[in-house]
């Protein structure tokens, strides 16, 4: 073999190694994306969908489909605002990166240096918990710990309450060893932004990120929308029928840093273009939002979720990790950086393949809506990577139907048991009273028209009738039904048969993890005279 032949073979190998995911790529055209969205509407009920694709520094597709509200029938377009929920987290990490660039904080600074009242479940962890620990879902606390303070909306919990809550929550793993997704520590991260910058998290994000990038319609929290025209309303799909819901709001905007932003695919295209251009923006990329060092810090793995040496042959995915506000995985040799978001009736995904200079955003205002935020973005990315064709929509429809059938089976069995059960042997006065959890506060068990009733003092929508189920357990049907979150309440009794405490858990296997009833430890409050 001559040196020239060897060089050519090495060069060919280098090219193939560098771009293995593009060999058979047939990117979806705008018309094909239109067809994909139409198929999604045909297969599963949904109100509206918006999709944008950016490639090689340009927006090549940006369009809305369906309606923003089924009541008003307003059409979705590329400027329609949606709640992007947890896609807000990457804005929070970008805000912190800017403050690191300015020397106002360091990634490894201790949280207590900025928020002295911050207190975790262990003194050592309190003292050593740093800024990045707020962002990487490795606190030792369980999935969605404490989210019940914010779900459903309408509660009066504040950032101050969040800061106090962690000391009363029980860890499920050792500190910095295991990924368990959380929201409340991002609320704390937003408070760090506020204290380090001297302005609220939402003001910082709007003035220091959205305004420079030209995201002129976007806001940090719903309350900052001066004009609510062309804003999508949330919807749920129940038994094939769409139901319009009220927007999720938190009156003080305290959940903003974890999931409060409203934006459009037009504005989020600018957000993705900035990231794909190494944090540069402007007509000639003359401006830098975040330094390259801190931008790379955001997009590198910090918490590992999984690794396999024998990946699925279709995706060839070996690695699954979490960065700072972004999920990271490899597919066919390319790194895919993405995040999803979900609030009642709102689902979204932002995704990037930096090696292809590709970005995709899908916003929807229906849950589940055929999981269009996943199926459409997945199909578009697959087409650029050159993956074997897959019917994302049919697969999602099948999964949704199986999940709904399982949920219906479980909940129907529970309520049938309730219907057949006799509670004549019970003495309601043995259960009536006030019960207190150290982070969630008080709940009251009272009689209404001869029926036991559960009321959370600080979360008014957690209010509902308690029906006897079995033994010492009751099933609660909440007045709030925007999401499947009915719950069991099991009483512990003393030797006289009087309730001393309550443990809870969700009834449906499809309950959202943010309804963390299982984390409550409700102890009866004994009045001392």
**CATH number of the CATH domain containing 29:** 3.40.710.10
- Write out pLDDT tens, residues 242-256: 999 999 987 567 789
Residues 171 and 273 in one domain: yes
pLDDT recorded at residue 8: 36
Task: Give the residue numbers spanning the domain of 482.
Answer: 410-524
Residues 369 and 451 in one domain: no
pLDDT at 12 over 50: no
pLDDT recorded at residue 528: 57
Residues 381 and 283 in one domain: yes
Least confident of 5-14, 336-345, 357-366, 432-441: 5-14
End residue of a domain, out of 367, 398, 429? 398
pLDDT recorded at residue 381: 97
Mean pLDDT of the chain: 93
**Residue 316: pLDDT band by 50, 70, 90 thresholds?**
confident
Asked if residue 6 belongs to a domain, the reply is: no
**CB contact set of 237 (below 8 Å; sequence gap of 6+):** 44, 45, 46, 243, 366, 367, 368, 369
Residues 393 and 438 in one domain: no
| pLDDT mean over 496-522 | 97
**Residue 83: pLDDT band by 50, 70, 90 thresholds?**
very high
Asked if residue 193 belongs to a domain, the reply is: yes
The H-assigned helical ranges of 105-239 are 123-128, 159-165, 184-197, 201-205, 211-213
pLDDT recorded at residue 23: 54
Residues 430 and 507 in one domain: yes
- Write out pLDDT tens, residues 350-377: 999 999 999 999 999 999 999 999 999 9
Give the total residue count for the chain: 529
High-pLDDT (> 90) share of the chain, %: 88
Residues 135 and 79 in one domain: yes
Q: Rounded to an integer, what distance in angstroms lies between the CA atom of residue 375 and that of residue 457?
A: 40
pLDDT recorded at residue 252: 67
Domain count within the chain: 2
Residues 384 and 513 in one domain: no
- Write out pLDDT tens, residues 16-69: 344 445 556 899 999 999 999 999 999 999 999 999 999 999 999 999 999 999
CATH number at residue 479: 2.40.128.50
End residue of a domain, out of 398, 432, 450? 398
Nearest to 133 by CA among 188, 84, 171: 188
Q: Rounded to an integer, what distance in angstroms lies between the CA atom of residue 57 and that of residue 356?
A: 11
| pLDDT mean over 434-461 | 97
- Write out pLDDT tens, residues 178-215: 999 999 999 999 999 999 999 999 999 999 999 999 99
Residues 429 and 363 in one domain: no
pLDDT at 159 over 60: yes
Q: In what order do the strands lie in the sheet with 241-244?
A: 241-244, 235-238, 366-367
pLDDT at 271 over 60: yes
Of 312 and 301, more confident: 301
End residue of a domain, out of 398, 425, 457? 398
| pLDDT mean over 265-269 | 98
pLDDT recorded at residue 473: 97
Residues 379 and 451 in one domain: no
Residues 493 and 354 in one domain: no
3-state secondary structure 340-391: EEEECCEEEEEEEEHHHCEEEEEEECEECHHHHHHHHHHHHHHHHHCCCCCC
**Residue 526: pLDDT band by 50, 70, 90 thresholds?**
confident
Residues 170 and 293 in one domain: yes
- Write out pLDDT tens, residues 368-414: 999 999 999 999 999 999 998 899 999 999 999 999 999 999 999 99
Q: Rounded to an integer, what distance in angstroms lies between the CA atom of residue 273 and that of residue 262?
A: 18
Sign of CA dihedral 167, 172, 178, 179: negative
pLDDT recorded at residue 314: 80
């Amino acid at each position: 073999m001559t040196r020239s032949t060897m060089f050519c073979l090495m060069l060919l190998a280098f090219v193939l190694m560098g771009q293995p995911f593009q060999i058979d790529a047939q990117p979806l055209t705008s018309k094909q994306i239109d067809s994909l969205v139409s198929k999604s509407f045909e297969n599963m009920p949904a109100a509206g969908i918006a999709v944008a694709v950016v490639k090689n520094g340009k927006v090549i597709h940006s369009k809305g489909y369906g309606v923003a509200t089924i009541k008003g029938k307003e059409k979705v377009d590329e400027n329609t605002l949606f709640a992007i929920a947890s896609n807000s987290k990457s804005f929070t990490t970008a805000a912190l990166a800017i403050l690191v660039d300015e020397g106002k904080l360091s990634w490894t600074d201790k949280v207590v240096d900025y928020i002295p009242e911050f207190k975790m479940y262990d003194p050592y962890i309190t003292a050593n918990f740093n800024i990045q620990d707020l962002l990487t879902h490795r606190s030792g606390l369980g999935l969605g710990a404490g989210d019940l303070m914010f779900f459903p909306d309408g509660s009066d919990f504040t950032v101050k309450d969040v800061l106090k809550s962690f000391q009363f929550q029980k860890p499920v793993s050792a500190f910095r060893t295991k990924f368990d997704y959380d929201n409340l520590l991002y609320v704390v991260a937003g408070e760090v932004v506020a204290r380090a910058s001297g302005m609220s998290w939402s003001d910082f994000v709007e003035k220091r990120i959205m305004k420079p990038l030209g995201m002129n319609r976007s806001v940090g929290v719903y309350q900052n929308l001066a004009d609510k025209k062309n804003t999508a309303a949330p919807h749920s799909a129940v038994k094939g029928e769409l139901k319009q819901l009220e927007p999720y709001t938190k009156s003080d905007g305290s959940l903003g840093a974890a999931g409060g932003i409203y934006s459009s695919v037009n504005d989020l295209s600018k957000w993705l273009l900035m990231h794909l251009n190494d944090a540069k923006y402007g007509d000639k990329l003359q401006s830098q939002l975040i330094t390259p060092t801190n931008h790379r810090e955001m997009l590198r793995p910090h918490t590992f979720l999984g690794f396999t040496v024998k990946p699925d042959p279709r995706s060839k995915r070996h690695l699954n990790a979490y960065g700072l506000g972004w999920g990271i995985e490899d597919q066919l040799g390319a790194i895919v950086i993405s995040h999803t978001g979900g609030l009642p009736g709102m689902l979204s995904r932002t995704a990037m393949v930096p090696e292809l200079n590709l970005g995709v955003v899908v916003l929807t205002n229906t849950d589940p809506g055929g999981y269009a935020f996943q199926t459409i973005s997945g199909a578009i990315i697959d087409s650029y990577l050159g993956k074997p064709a897959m019917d994302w929509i049919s697969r999602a429809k099948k999964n949704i139907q199986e999940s709904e059938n399982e949920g219906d089976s479980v909940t129907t069995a529970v309520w049938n048991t309730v219907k057949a059960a006799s509670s004549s042997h019970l003495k309601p006065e043995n259960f009536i009273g006030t019960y207190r959890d150290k982070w969630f506060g008080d709940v009251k068990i009272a009689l209404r028209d001869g029926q036991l009733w559960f009321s959370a003092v600080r979360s008014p929508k957690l209010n509902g009738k308690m029906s006897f189920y079995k033994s010492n357990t009751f099933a609660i049907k909440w007045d709030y039904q925007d999401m499947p979150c009915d719950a069991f309440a099991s009483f512990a009794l003393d030797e006289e048969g009087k309730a001393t405490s309550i443990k809870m858990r969700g009834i449906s296997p499809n309950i959202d993890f943010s309804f963390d009833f299982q984390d409550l430890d409700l102890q009866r409050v004994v009045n001392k005279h």
